Amino acid sequence: MRKCLLKYVRDKKLEAPFVLSCVGSVTQATLRLANAARDTPNEIIEVKGRHEIVSLVGTLADEGHLHASLSDKDGYVVGGHVMGNMEVFTTAEVVIGNCDMLSFTREMDDATGFDELVVTEK
């Protein structure tokens, strides 16, 4: 799914794209959990099986920065930073917005050790 979203953004030449809403389901996803730090390894989990997309939020500048919450058949939710692709099961209805007066880029932040969002006015 991520690759498709990023291709759409590039094809449409969107400069400040973000996810407004998403409903759908997936059969697999790779998520990084919230323990990321410069000096500790990231815990990454593979989510397999049918899951509803409870939430998908983030920006789609450069390589994108997305977070997802996924619910299993019993209603248990897992969430994290989307790594790579999520495989869509039945559908993924993603609504993308774009701020025409802004430009989003990602730049390395020495303090955090991660690429961080930079918002500039056009």
The DSSP bridge partners found for residue 47 are: 29
Segment 61-103, tens digit of pLDDT: 999 999 999 999 999 999 999 998 899 999 999 999 999 999 9
- What residue ranges in 1-122 does DSSP mark as E strands? 17-32, 44-59, 65-71, 77-82, 87-98, 102-109, 114-121
Closest to 98 in 3D by CA, of 5, 1, 35:
5
The DSSP bridge partners found for residue 107 are: 116
Judged against a pLDDT cut of 80, whether residue 54 lies above it is answered with yes
Query: Which residue in the block uniquely carries the two structure tokens 């989003």?
Result: 104
Chain centroid to CA 65: 5
Q: How confident is the model at residue 45 (pLDDT cuts 50, 70, 90)?
A: very high
Residue-range domains of the chain with CATH = 2-121 (3.30.1330.80)
pLDDT of residue 111: 87
Share of the chain above pLDDT 70, in %: 96
